[in-house]
Amino acid sequence: MNRKDEHLLLAKAQQQNPKENDFDAVSFVHQSMVSISDDQIDLTTSINGLNLEVPFYINAMTGGSEKTKVFNQQLAMVAKATGLMMATGSVSAALKDPSVADSYTIVREENPQGLLLANMGAGRTAEDAQKMIDLLDADGLQIHLNVPQELVMPEGEHDFELWESNIRDTIDAVSVPVIVKEVGFGMAQETIQKLLDLGVQAVDVSGRGGTSFTQIENSRRKERELSYLNDWGQSTVISLLEAQPFMDDLTMLASGGIRNAFDIFKAVSLGANAVGISGTILNTVMSEGVDATIKLVEDWKAQLRLLYALTGKATTRDVQKNQLIITGAPKEWAELRGINLYNLAAR
C-alpha cells in the first residue's frame, strides 16, 4: 500500500474514539455581566497578511496518491463552501514524482479563489519551496518539523543538520508568509526562541493530543517495538503555555487535539491567532461526507459567535485576553517550568 494511503487510514483509525486531552484542564472565569450584542461580534483574524474569516482552518493532511487526490478534492470543496483556509499535505511527493502532482493541484482547481498553504519538510530547500508555491499558486507556506516521526518511520530521514539553514534561506527567498509548524509533538520555549532567531514570524505549536505520527509510524514497523513513543511530546495546551513569552513577537497558531468549537475557543484564548484542524475534519469527511463536514464547520462558526458573546468579547484579539484557570497536568508542567499562570487568571 502507498505510504500516504497508509497514513490516511491509520490517522482515521485514531479518530474513532476521541480521548480526553489537556484542553479539558482549561476553564474560564465566568462574568455575569457582559456588554455586547451579536452584531458587534467579529470572528476574523489574520496570519502575517493572510486574512481569515474565522479563527480556524483546515490543516495539512495528505496528498501523493490517487486515493488522497479524492480526499484533497473533498477537503477543497469544504474549504470553498465555508471560506476556510486550507493547507495541503507535504508536497514533496510531487517533486519526487510529478505523476502525483494532481493530487495536490486538485485543491487549487476545486477552490481557485481560496486561501491555500503549501507544505514541506524542513529538510527541503528554498528552491523546492518556490517550486511548491508555484505549483499550487499558494498564498503561504508551511514548513513542518517532525523529528520523532522521521526517526520512527521505517524509511525516515535521520539527518537534520541543514534544517536551520533551510528555514532561514526559505524565509529570505519566498515572497509569501511562512509558517513553521510541528506535526503533533508540541513546542518548548527553547524551540520557539530558536525559530524567532532564524527570522520566523509565524509558528504553529501543534501539540500532542490529536493524531500521533509516532504511533502511525510504529504501526508500520515489523516489530512495532517503539510503542512507548506513542505519546511523545508536549500537548497543545502546554505548548501554548510555553509560548506565552513570545505572543508579542510572533504570530502564534495552534493545532493538535482540536475536537470541537470549545477547543478552538480555548486555543484562541491561550493566544493563538488561528487554529488548525486535521483529525476531526478527516474523520467527518471520510465517515459522513462533504455535506456533513460543511455543516460541522458552519455549526462551529455559530458556536464561536456564542462563545465570544458568553465571555463578552467582540473580536478575536479580545478573546485572547480571556481570564483562564489552568489545572491538572498543564498546571504541574507550568509550575516546574517557571511559567506564570496567575497572569492568565487575573488579566
Please indicate if the annotation marks 259 as binding a ligand. Answer: yes
Please indicate if the annotation marks 168 as binding a ligand. Answer: no
Q: How many H helices and E strands in the chain?
A: 16, 12
Burial class (CB in 10 A: 0-12, 13-18, 19+), 42: middle
Please indicate if the annotation marks 161 as binding a ligand. Answer: no
Please indicate if the annotation marks 258 as binding a ligand. Answer: yes
Please indicate if the annotation marks 150 as binding a ligand. Answer: yes
Please indicate if the annotation marks 247 as binding a ligand. Answer: no
Cell of 38: 451579536
Q: What are phi and psi of 224, to 5 degrees?
A: 50, 45
Please indicate if the annotation marks 67 as binding a ligand. Answer: no
DSSP states of 40-94 as a string? G-B--EEETTEEESSSEEE-----SSHHHHHHHHHHHHHHHHHT--EE-S-THHH
Please indicate if the annotation marks 62 as binding a ligand. Answer: yes
Task: Point out which residues pair with 254 in neighbouring strands.
Answer: 275
Please indicate if the annotation marks 119 as binding a ligand. Answer: yes
- 332's CB contacts (< 8 A; 6+ apart) are none
Please indicate if the annotation marks 138 as binding a ligand. Answer: no
Please indicate if the annotation marks 181 as binding a ligand. Answer: yes
Please indicate if the annotation marks 313 as binding a ligand. Answer: no
Contact 255, 234 (CB under 8 A): no
Please indicate if the annotation marks 32 as binding a ligand. Answer: no
Q: Is the dihedral of CA 39, 40, 46, 51 positive or negative?
A: positive
Please indicate if the annotation marks 239 as binding a ligand. Answer: no
Please indicate if the annotation marks 48 as binding a ligand. Answer: no
Enumerate the known binding-site residues for FMN.
60-62, 90, 119, 181, 206, 211, 257-259, 278-279
Enumerate the known binding-site residues.
3-4, 60-62, 90, 119, 149-150, 181, 206, 211, 257-259, 278-279
Enumerate the known binding-site residues for Mg(2+).
150
Enumerate the known binding-site residues for substrate.
3-4, 149
